Chain A
């Protein structure tokens, strides 16, 4: 597979503030690439430079093999963009809106197909202004697809949506992968990156601090999973597990054991039973991107977003 986007040593400053600090990364063709980071980390600045909305201070960017400063017109025909906080024309219907944007391109996808793909058939003659937030975003994603682009850029596509609407937009985005599109997604929701992305780059204060697949990132930075055992004889269980070499600690009336791999769970539960120690319930907390972010940056993603 080739590389859809190659970014080398990209830097952008606003006055004294370095918004993007010498970052380099590549996006493989056909991947859903998530740019994950808190608000103000430099996500939108980066993606808008790639989309040619802003100019870089330094660095080179190639999109579909072409330098964006050399062949902007050719690249524009082949990318589809949903800008951050995009709101389309108030007084055009869904169908008119999609048709409008389709006609801006030399080659464009069938409007009906886009309407079906985004599940907008029942709303196609409604004015854009009357749509709910989730529907508006689906129109926005649809607009980003009108030229049948090779790369789709979605900048914070679900910000401000309720969970149901967010899930609908996610399904629409997941559908793009089936279509074979390369998707460049920026988000500050870790669930979004977890749910959608093949490849995740975590950006923090203008720098990419970690990059890889979800599994890679958790493996490298997530720390261990934790098995919690409740409703047991705490001291005896602790002693038994520590005796077997597990890192166990008591927290209130719960025993928490760090585990390396899933097999360990069976081993631990078997060992407890062997010792005649019963328990009311167990649960396993796997580490997630939140832990990855916390471990790398020392702050939580949720806190930085607020």
Chain B
């Protein structure tokens, strides 16, 4: 390794970069325009469906005996064998709510709140023990007040989401009450709030844009540099000089990292100025950006090894980055997407980079940040090694 040569190449690359207005625009202005645009469009919160967790502590757990079938007012279909099946089904049938069950044996009532806050769960429906029996008893005694309360735990930072969930639950309970002979509000609920930091769409989106920028800069940067320098004969020329391929690669990676951190700085400053987002700077963020740059540079190297044509190369890079951009939960939270897309996302490096940056920079969720960092790091190590191994300056 000759630092003099690497420094020479790095400086020359920087000069070329800052003299190219097109590249400058796409590296910095584009992500800024993206966040301004999407920030404005989605500042009112997103559409789609919401996750509602149900923590069912009814000790009978809705087991259906004759008494229940006879008296329980919760609507049941023929094949349903549990009084709560109808509840889950009807909530899901609204199309705006995805029902998830909290594992109540792992998280007893006393631990529920900390579990919910750890997992950043935003809405939970709590069914207390003996709920079903209390309902039957209330109906037998014609005293609606005897029914225990269901509780909705709602994140107060999510007013819109809370509104949707409350209206769905109210509608459901209203229907059920109507179905009970004699009328009266036998089913009712109260709410408590989950105290969590308030996050908005832009908080979600901005780390995603950093991840996106790291990806496109690295993949396109490596592919276009390779193709352009190969076409101009510069790679052939360099192969006749003492400049080695690894030194060249190192210089290019320094450049990629420089661009990545510069873009990150621009994006965070805009985020802080326009939306008053407070970012957490920590080691995970740096490791994630570095690993991400190496990972996507590796993909770029693999692409440019196989696609030599100047017209095809950007198309190939697009074919990789474009689907990943939409499938990796950069623009919309994955929970709002169909299940199969959520499964696909888990195989995409960009997903882990985006999630990791969110955990590290916004949510301060360090356990999850560590996990995502590990995934991106390992992926980067493998892909970059493959890229280095198959890259050559030699012509056939």
Contact = CB atoms under 8 A, between A and B. Distances in A.
Given A88-B234, A91-B16, A103 B240 contact: no
Contacts of A82: 237
Contacts of B395: 48, 53-54
Contact of B394 (A53, A85, A105, A106): A53
Contact of A104 (B241, B393, B394, B396): B241
A83 B237 contact: yes
B20 interface: yes
A86 B242 contact: no
Contact of B237 (A86, A92, A96, A105): A86
Interface in B213-243: 232-234, 236-243
Contacts of A86: 232-234, 236-237
B140 interface: no
Interface stretch (B4-12, B154-162, B278-286): B4-12
A79 B239 CA distance: 12
Interface in A130-153: 143, 147, 153
Interface in B227-266: 232-234, 236-243
B339 interface: no
A76 B237 contact: no
A49 B313 CA distance: 27
A103 to B, nearest CB: 4
Contact of B241 (A89, A105, A127): A105
Interface centre among A82, A89, A101 (most CB of B within 10 A): A89
B8 A104 contact: yes
B239 A87 contact: no
A260 interface: no
B223 to A, nearest CB: 17
B13 to A, nearest CB: 9
B8 A91 contact: no
A97 to B, nearest CB: 9
B243 A89 contact: no
A85 B233 contact: yes
Contacts of B5: 103-104
Contacts of B236: 48, 53, 83, 86
Nearest to A75: B240
Given A48-B395, A143-B237, A77 B12 contact: no
Contacts of A73: 242
**Consensus secondary structure, chain B interface:** helix
Given A90-B16, A91-B16, A100-B8, A76 B394 contact: no
A51 interface: yes
Contacts, number: 74
A14 B396 CA distance: 8
A76 B393 CA distance: 15
Contacts of B393: 53
Contacts of A127: 19
A55 interface: yes
Nearest to A12: B396
A90 B20 CA distance: 10
Given A91-B16, A91-B20, A96-B15, A101 B241 contact: yes
A52 interface: yes
Contacts of B232: 86-88
A227 interface: no
A35 B9 CA distance: 33
A125 interface: no
A81 interface: yes
A51 B240 CA distance: 6
A84 interface: yes
Contacts of A87: 232-234
Interface band, chain B: 20 to 34
Contacts of B241: 76, 101, 104-105, 147
B16 A76 contact: no
A33 B366 CA distance: 67
Given A54-B395, A83-B236, A143-B237, A100 B12 contact: yes
A18 to B, nearest CB: 14
A303 to B, nearest CB: 28
A57 to B, nearest CB: 11
A179 B63 CA distance: 100
Interface centre among A84, A101, A147 (most CB of B within 10 A): A101
A92 B16 contact: yes
B240 A79 contact: yes
Interface in B371-396: 393-396
A93 to B, nearest CB: 9
Interface string A54-66: 1100000000000
A105 B396 contact: no
A217 B234 CA distance: 36
Contacts of B8: 100, 103-104
B390 to A, nearest CB: 17
Interface string B183-223: 00000000000000000000000000000000000000000
Contact of B12 (A48, A81, A89, A147): A89
A88 B236 CA distance: 11
A91 B19 contact: yes
Contact of B242 (A76, A84, A85, A153): A76
A147 B242 CA distance: 11
Contact of A83 (B15, B19, B233): B233
A81 B16 contact: no
Nearest to B17: A91
A54 B242 contact: no
A73 B107 CA distance: 66
Interface centre among A54, A86, A101, A103 (most CB of B within 10 A): A103
Contacts of A52: 239-240
Contacts of B238: 104
Interface string A144-180: 0001000001000000000000000000000000000
Interface string A90-120: 1110001000110111100000000000000
Contact of A92 (B4, B15, B239, B240): B15
Given A54-B394, A54-B396, A76-B242, 8 more contacts: A52-B239, A82-B237, A86-B234, A87-B232, A91-B16, A103-B4, A103-B5, A105-B242
Q: Which 5 A-B pairs have the closest CB atoms?
A: A87-B232, A86-B233, A81-B240, A91-B19, A103-B8
6 contacts: A52-B239, A79-B240, A81-B237, A89-B234, A91-B20, A147-B241
